[in-house]
Amino acid sequence: MGQMIEKNYGLHFENMRCTIFDPFLCEIMSVNMKEKSFPLKLKQIVMQAFPCKVDDSTLWHKRIGHFSYSTLRLMKCINLVQNMPSIEEHDDVCDVCQYGKKSKLPFPAKASWRTIEKLKLIH
- Residue partners of 11: CB distance under 8 A and separation at least 6: 1, 4, 5, 18, 19, 20, 21
Cα–Cα distances (Å) from 44 to 29, 39, 40, 94, 108, in that order, read 11, 11, 9, 44, 71
- pLDDT tens, position by position, 51-68: 777 778 888 888 888 888
Q: What is the DSSP string of 47-87?
A: P--------HHHHHHHHTTS--HHHHHHHHHHT-STTPPPP
Amino acid making up residue 30:
S
Confirm whether pTM is higher than 0.85: no
Say if residues 31 and 1 touch (Cβ distance below 8 Å): no
| Domain spans, the chain | 2-36, 56-100
The rounded percent of the chain whose pLDDT value lies above 90 is 11
Q: How many whole angstroms separate alpha carbon 21 and alpha carbon 28?
A: 5
Determine what percent of the chain falls in helix, strand and coil, rounding each to the nearest 5. 25, 15, 60
- pLDDT tens, position by position, 59-94: 888 888 888 888 999 998 998 888 888 888 877 788
Amino acid making up residue 22:
D
